[in-house]
């Protein structure tokens, strides 16, 4: 089996809250706990979950914008989690980001051409003609006329600004783009155009996406595989089609049951889930979902369920729906097949 493009192993991020008084322990926000997955070339790997589940922290960790407390992020076999300075800058050539807000993520004083080519000019000097040729090529790729390259961001619509953000991300010819809520600020019709653009670019260039979203209909449309996160942990990881057809984890089931159905003839089970997401500063013991879970048993209150590989190849962390057999070695970072696409 070929090595995956991206291998995330046991990624963990804790933030200290305030300072300890008289050497008392400092409270921690457990934003990301022991997250492992891999992404293949040309794949769209989605991460979903409610606000505060840790999905955006995972995006920042993958980009090297924050340092992990533990774990590894291997891009083409190189651990980029600990890189700094020039090495981190060099790794950015392969991994780029598209942000949620297409306006605030663009410098309002720079022209479209400058915005798009800025990242390239961090590595090499471009003359005016080179810059305009590159900007024209990338604008065409994202469906904007090259004639618009001298305009400022304020002269574009919201959808066009997101296209500019995508053109900027493509400028260094990356192998992976992290898209963090990249369409959630756009109108539904514009969302569809941007999603189709991303899928076309993937077909054309073989680029991979880590697509982070709270919107399940978007994920169902664009994703190959999906990880469902709850309070910093992955609770289910499966091919998109299977997750939406037959979710196994009670939280995945509740999320999907609550999402609007694009097809009125489809029926989803109603799974009651009550209450709010608990605080990551003081998460519930055992399975963090147990205070909201209709299937919780005594063991759920005391023991954290491991992510277990099921016979159909998906991974689920649940004592009831995916009980780990005694002696079963759950997936570890050393498992070469860890949470990879089901062949």
Could you list the residues that contact ligand SF4 (CB under 6 A)?
Answer: 249-250, 287, 289-290, 293, 295-296, 300, 305, 318-321
Nearer to ligand SF4, 27 or 323 (CB): 323
* Smallest distance from ligand SF4 to CB 141, Å: 43
Nearer to ligand SF4, 182 or 300 (CB): 300
* Smallest distance from ligand SF4 to CB 324, Å: 11
Rounded-to-integer distance, Cα 56 and Cα 212, Å: 7
Task: Indicate the pairing of strand 233-239 with strand 315-316.
Answer: antiparallel
* Smallest distance from ligand SF4 to CB 213, Å: 22
Q: How far is CA 68 from the centre of its chain?
A: 16
Tokens found for residue 107: 């410098």
Nearer to ligand SF4, 136 or 250 (CB): 250
* Smallest distance from ligand SF4 to CB 316, Å: 9
How many CB atoms are closer than 10 A to CB 2? 6
The radius of gyration of the chain from alpha carbons, rounded to an integer in Å, stands at 21
Length reported for the chain? 343
Rounded-to-integer distance, Cα 174 and Cα 318, Å: 36
Nearer to ligand SF4, 81 or 229 (CB): 229
Nearer to ligand SF4, 197 or 296 (CB): 296
Closest CA to 225 of 76, 38, 60: 38
User: Is residue 228 within 8 Å of 252, Cβ to Cβ?
Assistant: yes
* Smallest distance from ligand SF4 to CB 22, Å: 36
Rounded-to-integer distance, Cα 316 and Cα 146, Å: 47
Nearer to ligand SF4, 161 or 249 (CB): 249
Tokens found for residue 224: 């190959």
* Smallest distance from ligand SF4 to CB 117, Å: 48
Q: What's the sign of the alpha-carbon dihedral 188, 190, 196, 202?
A: negative
* Smallest distance from ligand SF4 to CB 300, Å: 3
User: Is residue 133 within 8 Å of 124, Cβ to Cβ?
Assistant: no
Rounded-to-integer distance, Cα 254 and Cα 300, Å: 18
Tokens found for residue 242: 């299977």
Nearer to ligand SF4, 124 or 326 (CB): 326
């Amino acid at each position: 089996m070929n090595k995956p493009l991206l291998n995330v192993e046991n990624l963990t991020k804790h933030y200290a809250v305030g300072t300890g008084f008289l050497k008392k322990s400092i409270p921690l926000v457990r934003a990301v706990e022991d997250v492992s997955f891999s992404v293949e070339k040309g794949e769209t790997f989605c991460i979903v979950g409610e606000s505060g589940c840790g999905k955006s922290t995972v995006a920042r960790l993958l980009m090297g914008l924050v340092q992990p407390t533990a774990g590894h992020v291997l891009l083409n076999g190189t651990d980029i989690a600990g890189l700094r300075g020039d090495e981190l800058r060099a790794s950015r050539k392969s991994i780029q980001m598209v942000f949620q807000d297409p306006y605030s993520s663009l410098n309002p004083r720079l022209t479209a051409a400058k915005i798009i080519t800025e990242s390239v000019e961090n590595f090499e000097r471009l003359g005016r003609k080179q810059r305009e040729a590159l900007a024209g090529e990338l604008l065409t790729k994202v469906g904007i006329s090259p004639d618009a390259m001298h305009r400022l961001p304020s002269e574009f619509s919201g959808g066009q600004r997101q296209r500019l953000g995508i053109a900027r991300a493509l400028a260094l010819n990356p192998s992976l783009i992290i898209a963090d809520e990249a369409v959630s600020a756009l109108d539904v019709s514009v969302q569809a155009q941007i999603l189709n653009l991303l899928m076309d670019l993937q077909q054309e260039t073989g680029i991979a996406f880590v697509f982070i979203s709270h919107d399940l209909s978007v994920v169902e449309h664009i994703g190959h595989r999906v990880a469902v996160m709850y309070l910093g942990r992955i609770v289910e990881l499966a091919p998109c089609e299977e997750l939406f057809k037959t979710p196994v984890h009670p939280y995945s089931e509740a999320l999907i049951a609550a999402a609007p159905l694009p097809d009125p003839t489809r029926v989803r089970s109603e799974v009651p889930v009550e209450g709010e997401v608990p605080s990551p500063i003081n998460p519930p013991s055992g399975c963090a979902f147990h205070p909201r879970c209709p299937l919780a048993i005594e063991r759920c209150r005391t023991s954290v369920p491991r992510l277990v590989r099921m016979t159909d190849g998906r991974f689920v962390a649940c004592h009831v729906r995916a009980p780990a057999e005694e002696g079963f070695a759950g997936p570890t970072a050393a498992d070469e097949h860890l949470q990879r696409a089901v062949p």
